Structures are given as C-alpha cells and as structure tokens.
Amino acid sequence: MFKIKKRAASQAKQPTLYNIIEDYTESDAPGNVAVCAMTEPEDLTAHARVLSESYEVPLDVMTRLLHEGGLYLYPQAGPLVTRGLFACKIDPSGQEPKQTWVLDVVQYAEAEQLARSYGLTLEEAAARVFYRTLAPELRARLQKKNLGLEYAKLDRAIARHGDIEYIDFRKDWSPHFKRLCIMPNGELVETSGLEEFASLHGITVAQARTLIEQGGTLEVNGEVLACQVVNGQPSVARFNWQQYMKAKEIAASRGAHIMDALSEVGLSDPALMQALKRREQLLPALVLLLAFGMAACSAPKPILYPNAHYQTVGKETAERDIVECGEMAEAAGATPEKGKGAQVAGSTAVGAGIGAASGAVGGAVVGAAGSGSAIGAAGGATAGLLRGLFRRPKPSEAYTGFVNRCLTERGYDPVGWK
C-alpha cells in the first residue's frame, strides 16, 4: 500500500503595501518625504497595522482614520505637545486617492495658527501646511491624476490595477520601511527597525537611536559606525579598523573633520566602490556621482569678491581668515549644518544611505518605472545610498551669517557660499 504524502501548506503571502515608491528625501525638511503609493485595492487591515506600528497610533484609531479620514493628535506630556499630528485625507468624491502624512510639532503649531486666523478647520489647515512644504515638482504632480505617471511605461503588474488607490507620505524608521547600511567590504546590509540595526552592529538600542537621530560616529570593537543626517534622513556606514586608522591619519595630517576623512576613505576604497557597482550595475550613474563627489568632500565655504583687501592679503591669508571665522562661529554655538546632524561640523554625507525605501511589509514592494524621480525597490535604495554618500548639507543660516559678518569686519566682501 502506498502512502500519499500531503503537500505542505504554503505560507500565506505577505500583502504588498506599496507598488510605487518615489524619493523626495533630498528636499528641504520638513518636506523631505518618500511617496509610497498603491494601485491595487487597499488591504485596509494590513495598511492600518503598518501605519499604526510605524507612527505609534492606536490600531483602532488608525483603522477608523483609514475608513473615515481625519486627524490624530499625539497626546501631550504634561503641558507640552510632543509629536504633532497624523492626518488621513479622504476625498468624498473619490477623485483623489486617499492620502496620509504626519506634521511635526512646528507644523502643528502653524496649522493651529492658520486655522484660528482664517476660520479653517484643523484638517484644512494641516493639509495646507503639509502641501506647501513639499518639493515644487511633487506639489505640481499631486495636481495630476495618478501623479502624472505614464502608465504605458509602468510595469504591467502595476499598471493593470488602474488608478492609484492611496498615497502615504512617509519618513520614518519602522519595521516596515527597510534601510541599508554599507559595510567595510562594500556589502549593503538591509535592516528594519532600531532593534535589528542595534543587533547587527552589537550596540544597544539607545546607542543606535542616538546615532540615527543625531548623526556622528560610534566606535564598536575597534571599528567605527558613521552616520550623517541630511534633511532628517540618516546615511550609515561601518568602517573596519584599517579604514578607520587611515581616516584618523587623514584627519590629523590635514586638520580635517573625521567625517570628511571617512568619506574620503570610502570614496578611495576600491572594494567598497566595486561592490556598489556590482550591486545594481549602476556604473554610469556611479561614475557621474564620483566625478562631483570628490569635489563635495570639502565643507561649504564662502565665496569672496576680489576687492582691494582680498587682492592685498592674497588667497592664502583669505583662506586662513575663513577658517578662523568658522572656528569663531562654532565656538559661539553656530554650527555649520542644519537639523539634527548639526553637531557634525563641516562633514559631508558618509558611507551609506537610505534615500528611499528598499522594502515594505515583508519586503513586498514592487519596483516602479515611472516619470520624475520614480524609483524601484532595490535600485532606488542604491541610488539613495549614493546620494547620501556624496551630497553636501547646506550650512545653517546662523553659521553663514556669523562667518559673513566676521569676514566683512576683516575687510572682505562675501557674495555667497559653495
């Protein structure tokens, strides 16, 4: 007698949350978002669960918001508003896709003021405040049906479902929004939340949170983790002992910041660069980025008009004066960069990046081939990494103002920054 073997039950396929992802994280904060959209019918249960976990909104509240639209105001800590609000906008006519976003505390205050001043509902004010911070290109595309995507150029699996059902404007570190870290050998390692990131590198969750939120460096068993925060988006790289020592030598010999030195080491490391090229076969884009990336390794500095004083003292003296004025600005508390990475003086983006999502629920994100800045699940992540590696943060207004005044008092005529 033959026994009939039962086929093992296949595991349920994880739901796909997004199949169109576009990267706008290079826009100035707070409009630096990733546009995550879906053309398939909304799986409301999965959608609510993911957004609830990502933004710490109670699941029942999130489910109601995705059904009905509206706002969730984060609870206050005593008299203080700590986090702003979460918004879900639903067009009753069905002409626009469902949209979700978050406002930080400053934006929330703006929305409240706008509502009081013009007699608007808080929902209307929150939408106005949010949309006006977005990149001009993205604002224009939101006025078009389906973000103005050319459906003839989209993957069939995406285009066949028709119109975009919902859009999440995301910028978070959640279990459903995977990130990349570049390792010493050039390998790109994907992690989800802070716990997984901390476990990968053998550090505490508290250390991981501080590094990701504030930027800087963290020594780990003779190696070093380097994080640059640009527009609220962290780019992370790990360097081995040899790479770290080389960076220290560069920093000591040239008086450079350790982050600049690590960036130079990363750019000149053939194994690291070759691994990036192999990852997504983005050689043309990589070569182009390398061409301007080396020039971007210096911190932003003022451009001086060649007036009589400049011509009298010469270029070398002028360069020394620029450095001295910068040091005076930092001593006075004016840091060279905007945002949470401001304490990393004069640094360029280092090592690795997140620029955009490389995965969502269960990693089930389908790459999108669209117009504008449309990205795919993996290719876009690598492109985001490269941008994080090479782009240079803008100096803060306090810093540029201090340095400009210092140089003016010394007889120079600063006309801009580069």
Segment 184-219, tens digit of pLDDT: 887 878 787 788 889 999 999 899 988 887 888 999
Would 408 be classed as within a structural domain?
no
Tokens of 161: 């479902």
Same domain, 132 and 274: no
Would 415 be classed as within a structural domain?
no
Same domain, 134 and 238: no
Which residues in the chain come in under a pLDDT of 70?
1-15, 77-82, 157, 173-178, 230-233, 273-299, 335-394
Same domain, 260 and 164: no
Same domain, 235 and 152: no
Would 94 be classed as within a structural domain?
yes
Select from 267, 331, 330, 273 the least CA-distant residue to 298.
267
Would 63 be classed as within a structural domain?
yes
Would 304 be classed as within a structural domain?
no
The residue among 170, 203, 229 that closes a domain is 170
One-letter amino acid for residue 38 of the chain: M
Same domain, 215 and 352: yes
Would 1 be classed as within a structural domain?
no
* Spatial distance between the Cα atoms of 323 and 264, rounded to a whole number of angstroms: 20
Same domain, 199 and 63: no
Same domain, 252 and 379: yes
* Spatial distance between the Cα atoms of 90 and 67, rounded to a whole number of angstroms: 9
> In degrees rounded to 5, what are phi and psi of residue 102?
-125, 150
**What's the count of helices (H) and strands (E) in the chain, helices before strands?**
16, 14
Q: What's the start-to-end Cα distance of the chain, in Å?
A: 82
The helix/strand/coil state of 134 is coil
Q: Which residue range(s) make up the domain with 115?
A: 20-170
Tokens of 101: 């976003």
Would 274 be classed as within a structural domain?
yes
Contact 351/217 with Cβ under 8 angstroms? no
The helix/strand/coil state of 87 is strand
Residue 166: per-residue pLDDT: 95
Bridge partners for 229 per DSSP: 234
The residue among 170, 189, 223 that closes a domain is 170
Same domain, 72 and 121: yes
Is residue 185 classed exposed, middle or buried when 0-12, 13-18 and 19+ CB atoms within 10 A define those classes? exposed
> In degrees rounded to 5, what are phi and psi of residue 333?
100, 0
Same domain, 368 and 288: yes
Tokens of 387: 């941008």
Counting the structural domains of the chain, the total is 2
Same domain, 127 and 257: no
Contact 353/385 with Cβ under 8 angstroms? yes
Select from 153, 141, 150, 170 the least CA-distant residue to 47.
170
Contact 146/18 with Cβ under 8 angstroms? no
Residue 418: per-residue pLDDT: 73
The strand order across the sheet containing 223-230 reads 188-191, 179-182, 233-239, 223-230, 216-220
Taking phi first (over 0 means left), then psi (-120 to 50 degrees means alpha), and beta for anything else, what does residue 256 get?
beta
Same domain, 165 and 214: no
Same domain, 213 and 165: no
Question: Rounded to whole angstroms, what are the CA distances from 111 to 107, 108, 117, 123, 125?
Answer: 6, 5, 10, 9, 5
Q: Cβ neighbours of residue 152 under 8 Å, at least 6 residues apart?
A: 159
The residue among 115, 143, 170 that closes a domain is 170
Instruction: Give the distance from CA 332 to its chain's centroid.
Output: 29
Would 361 be classed as within a structural domain?
yes
DSSP letter, residue 127: H
